[in-house]
Amino acid sequence: MSKPAILMPSPMMPLVVERLDERFRLHRLWEDPDPEGWLAAHGGSVRGLAAGGHRRIDAALLDALPSLEIVSSFGVGYDHVDAAEAGRRGVVVTNTPDVLTEEVADLALGLLLATVRRLPQAERYLRAGEWLEKPFPLSPTLRTRTVGILGYGRIGKAIARRLDAFGVEVVYHGRRRQEGAAHRHYDTLVDMARAVDTLICVAPGGAATKGMISREVLRALGPDGILINVGRGTTVDEAALIAALEAGEILSAGLDVFEDEPRVPQALIDRDDVVLLPHVGSASVHTREAMGRLVVDNLVSWFENAGPLTPVPETPWTKA
């Protein structure tokens, strides 16, 4: 039997490309001189799709792939995949949960500490020779803070566990109160923002969370407020965030994700009081390789008729 055809619309890490190449007929669409022509001629033969990068996997692309069975997406967030549309067409979507939970939680704590204690600013100060003149100014503290988590899922809980160990009070907002949760729940984001001074966003992207962290929420966080975002840039109204920082309505922000990556607004780059990272939450060799292996393993498992390993909720899998 011929190997199933797998389409890779945009570049992925070498481990994924090499392993898929061994087992499947892999087509690297981004290297094709005429991607549209290739899709028109061969789209009908594609049975699996390996999705990395942020090219949208939407109805238009699915239209070109009538025999598609599975989309195996890199990353726990899959807002670049129209999973509901895939589900309507009987196409399974998988993501890479669990393998990155602790890594992203580690990064969130690092970014929180860096932002509160102004670590990058302190390091720049030393390198500039300013320590020779006078000590670095005293920083704000984590000690008096209450942290509100938006997105109390696997990563949110891993962050909460770390904060528990740090002796910091944690609360959360989600659509529903979670049974048996160790932390207090708030029904609305704005109520939680009023009650805390530090907001950590781990929420997924997409239409449901777009712009949720609004000017109103930032104002509710208050002048000592610190926003940390390791979820998706789209969840924060970036223009409102810049305006709130400029007006002194919040103290600072630590951001790993942005609305239009890799473009970061100059107004943020110009500010010395924010900490900005290039979307590195899961970006260690160890964790990215584990994510890559899971992308491959989902496809292998599917084409061995063993079902998907980690289907997303929009395309639940029940064995026929």
Site of interaction with ligand 8YV (CB under 6 A): 74-77, 100, 279, 281-282
3-class SS of residue 224: coil
Using the minimum distance from each CB to ligand 8YV, give the nearer residue, 19 or 80. 80
Beta carbon nearer to ligand 8YV, 169 or 297: 297
Structure tokens at 234: 């789209």
The residue among 24 and 78 lying less far from ligand 8YV, judged by its C-beta, is 78
Least spacing, CB of residue 100 vs ligand 8YV, in Å: 5
- C-alpha 7/C-alpha 27 separation (Å) is 5
Q: How far apart are CA 299 and CA 293, in angstroms?
A: 10
> Please, which residues have CB within 8 angstroms of residue 154's CB and are 6 or more apart in sequence?
97, 98, 101
Residue of 19, 173, 232, 288 marked active site: 232
Give the residue from 259, 220, 213, 303 showing the smallest Cα distance to 2: 303
**Which residue lies nearer to ligand 8YV by CB, 226 or 294?**
294
Active site residue 80: no
| Closest approach of ligand 8YV to the CB of residue 247, in Å | 30
Three-class SS state of 191: helix
Q: How far is the CB of 237 from ligand 8YV (least distance, A)?
A: 19
* Integer Rg of the chain from CA: 22
Give the active site residue among 22, 88, 261, 286.
261
CA 100, 186, 213, 160 torsion: positive or negative? negative
Active site residue 145: no
286 is catalytic: no
User: From the CB of 155, what's the least distance to ligand 8YV, in Å?
Assistant: 9
Residue nearest to ligand 8YV (CB): 75
Please count the residues of the chain: 320
Active site members: 232, 261, 279
